[in-house]
């Protein structure tokens, strides 16, 4: 199902998942921003990270993201941050995703404009994915290697210099990574063990960089509050590897250790096409697509030119 609306998705990730008062203030800021909708907020104490999913017209999203970053830098102090998720800054990543009639070129332009605004706030900025100014910075994991702790060395000339903003180390805010990308699925699987090496071994087996499944990024982390471990993933191209495929692979690998899969977890939102693929597989319903979903017809109807007359 394709719509011709001129919209983008923006998914800012901040390095705060424990102080829900701060998270709530940032969510309220987005809710009050004209021209956009805050669709979802996910916070995790072990990751110490929150993910905000917004939708709106590109210029409105740019304005909201700029105000969001400014307030997040005031609220979050990286000198006090601990958590199991990789991170470089208070506002760790801000990806823009073109949807409907919006192009990737437009998403890149918005990402670069936000980067200049964040740089002017005194925070070093690196552009990644389609917004990267250098080919070696396309992969987020490469740009974030060394995390927050490597930033003092980078400021001293040992490592890549920022694409925007100061080259000096900002101990309070760290650095901000801003990008433009296609839709991805942030998908986690929790395992019934406290042995983090099990999750790390499985992550290494399934991720593409280790010779595993295409378009899968994965790491194994410990969820101390729950007393279990997790395979935390980004499925960067769900058409190449879907949720059902990676879940089956994790089940198979976990069984080798005698460990059960407890549950899976979606962070943020996902494309309808990905749901279609998983339903086709799980229900063995070969011809299933969104035309079989009642609400899909309502959405088409509400977005048609006739409905606005």
Beta strands 228-235 and 185-191: pairing type?
antiparallel
* Helices within the chain (DSSP H only): 20-31, 58-75, 104-120, 140-143, 151-155, 196-206, 243-256, 272-282, 294-303
Asked if 113 and 32 count as a contact pair (C-beta separation under 8 A), the reply is no
Catalytic residue among 40, 85, 244, 281: 85
112 Cβ partners below 8 Å, 6+ apart? 127, 131, 164, 178
DSSP classification of residue 89 = B
Q: What angle do CA 68, 106, 134 make, to 5 degrees?
A: 85
DSSP classification of residue 137 = G
CA distances from 69 to 35, 85, 114, 154, 283 (A): 17, 19, 9, 22, 43
Mark whether 85 is an active-site residue.
yes
The two tokens of residue 65 are: 């993201």
Q: Is 151 helix (H, G, I), strand (E, B) or coil?
A: helix
78-114: burial string, b at 16+ Cβ within 10 Å, e else: beebebbbbbbbbbbbbbbbbbeebebebbbbbbbbb
Q: Which residues are identified as catalytic?
A: 85
């Amino acid at each position: 199902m394709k719509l011709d609306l001129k919209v983008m998705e923006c998914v800012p990730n901040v390095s705060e998942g424990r102080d829900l008062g701060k998270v709530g203030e940032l969510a309220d800021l987005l809710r009050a921003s004209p021209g956009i909708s805050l669709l979802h907020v996910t916070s995790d104490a072990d990751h110490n990270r929150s993910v905000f999913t917004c939708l709106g017209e590109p210029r409105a999203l740019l304005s909201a993201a700029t105000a969001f970053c400014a307030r997040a830098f005031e609220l979050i102090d990286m000198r006090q941050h601990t958590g199991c998720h990789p991170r470089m800054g208070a506002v760790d990543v801000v990806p823009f995703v073109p949807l409907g009639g919006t192009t990737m070129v437009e998403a890149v332009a918005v990402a670069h404009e936000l980067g200049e605004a964040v740089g002017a706030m005194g925070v070093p900025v690196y552009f990644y994915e389609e917004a990267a100014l250098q080919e070696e910075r396309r992969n987020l994991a490469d740009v974030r290697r060394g995390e927050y702790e490597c930033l003092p060395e980078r400021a001293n000339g040992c490592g890549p210099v920022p694409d925007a903003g100061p080259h000096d180390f900002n101990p309070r805010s760290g650095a901000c990574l801003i990008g433009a990308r296609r839709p991805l699925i942030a998908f986690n699987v929790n395992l019934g063990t406290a042995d983090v090496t099990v999750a790390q071994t499985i992550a290494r087996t399934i991720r593409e960089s280790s010779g595993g499944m295409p378009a899968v990024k994965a790491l194994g982390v410990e969820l101390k509050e729950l007393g279990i471990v997790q395979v935390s993933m980004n499925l960067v191209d769900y058409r190449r590897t879907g949720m059902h495929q990676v879940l089956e692979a994790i089940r198979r690998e976990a069984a080798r250790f005698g460990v059960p899969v407890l549950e899976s977890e979606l962070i943020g939102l996902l494309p309808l096409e990905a749901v279609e693929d998983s339903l086709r597989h799980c229900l063995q319903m070969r011809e299933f697509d969104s035309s079989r979903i009642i609400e899909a017809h309502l959405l088409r109807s509400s977005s048609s030119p006739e409905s606005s007359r």
